[in-house]
Structure 1
Amino acid sequence: MENKDITSNDKAVLTRIFNPNLPYGDIFEGNENAMEVEEVETEAVKQAKSLETEGVKQAEAGHIEEALNSFNKAISVAPKHASSYNNRAQALRLQGDVAGALQDLNTAIELSGGHGKVACQAYTQRGLIKRLEEDDEGAIEDLKKAACLGSQFARDLVVSMNPYAAMCNQMLSEVIGKLRSGEGELPVV
């Protein structure tokens, strides 16, 4: 069967099989290829990537100020390179500058056009920040966008934030468990 023959009902069934914890009605229509957006690899972008790598290592070592300096240099070298803003947002968040982190995440999403790996990461980070700020509606919106870009973590988080869906999934799991153990019957429709 070719992809063009797959109906929306087929997709829903496959999604239910491969993502049993996903609430009904929250099918994420994502493009698995949307994770990769090509960027022109100029000398400035290469230098920015090198500075980012240095900044990530510094942040992992707990040297947040040094990491921020590396990310700032990366941004000054290649101001249109979305990844540098995304990485700096993480360092800013670790430093407690949530407003600065949100500003950088917005810039990363804008520069990436809302597509690709960087946008996926930025939407996830922004969704987590919104969740911490008790903006569940905004968090779910961003996490759904990240899920559509391929983030399984974001999908799982959206499911966990929907108590009604969690309750329905729990009831469905109990029914299936009873059917498997022979304690129940399928209803006649």
Structure 2
Amino acid sequence: MSNDRAHVSAHDSAVLNRIFNPNLPYGDVVDEEEVEKEIEEETVDVKVSKQLEVQGVQAAESGDVEAALNLFSQAIGNTPQRASGYNNRAQALRLKGDVLGALEDLNMAITLSNGTGSVACQAYTQRGLIYRLEGEEEKSLEDFKHASRLGGQFAKQQVIAMNPYAALCNQMLCEVMQKVRSGEV
């Protein structure tokens, strides 16, 4: 039997998905083929922007949010087509309390990444968190679902936590499994 995914039926693929992604609510599918590999041409400008972003992250981690914002803005100015700079600046803006600015940058990161890849996953997760903090549960859940489909483990947990039916089913299944293990059933 071949390991080639082309020979796996849609039903088999759904069963395998449930096995390998048991915490996702039914209907949510993580398809590895959907997750595009991010390939970025390493031009001089891209290398400079990446270095500026690393410095920005270091500044943010040391508590200098203003320096981080400045460095992320320089990276964006250097390569405005890169989604990563917007995603990173959104984090710093959120730390500063600029929720609207953070949302604008996250929207730009999602747009520039075409909603795929690790940067989009991070941006959807961040935006989902902001929406949740702002009380916009439906928008939050949708963003967590997008991030979950892109492989975001934290987002998957948020989808489960926000779905009371899935949480109840998981709790009941755990209780049954504990009874089976202890010989009660």
- Output the TM-score relative to the length of structure 2: 0.91
* Residue 172 of structure 1: aligned partner: 173
Within 5 Å, give how 1:143-182 maps onto structure 2. 143-182=144-183
Distance 2:79 2:69 in 1: 15
Q: Structure 2: 5+ residue runs without aligned partners? A: none
Distance 1:20 1:136 in 2: 23
* Residue 38 of structure 2: aligned partner: 37
Matched, 1:79 2:80: yes
Distance 1:83 1:133 in 2: 24
* Residue 122 of structure 2: aligned partner: 121
Q: Structure 1: 5+ residue runs without aligned partners? A: 185-189
Distance 1:160 1:26 in 2: 16
Matched, 1:21 2:29: no
Quick check: 1:83–1:118 contact (8 Å CA) kept in 2?
yes
Quick check: 1:36–1:116 contact (8 Å CA) kept in 2?
yes
Deviation at 1:181, TM superposition (A): 2.6
Distance 1:81 1:153 in 2: 24
Distance 1:99 1:153 in 2: 23
My pick for the range that moved more, 143-152 or 61-70, is 143-152
* Residue 11 of structure 1: aligned partner: 13
Structure 1 residues 22 and 34: CA distance shift in structure 2, 3 A: closer
* Residue 95 of structure 1: aligned partner: 96
Quick check: 2:28–2:149 contact (8 Å CA) kept in 1?
no
Distance 1:139 1:169 in 2: 21
Q: Which of 1 and 2 has higher RCO (CA within 8 Å, sep 6+)?
A: 1
Deviation at 1:160, TM superposition (A): 1.1
- Output the TM-score relative to the length of structure 1: 0.89
* Residue 69 of structure 2: aligned partner: 68
* Residue 60 of structure 2: aligned partner: 59
Aligned sequence identity (%):
57
Cα RMSD over matched residues? 1.7
My pick for the range that moved more, 88-97 or 157-166, is 157-166
Distance 1:18 1:75 in 2: 38
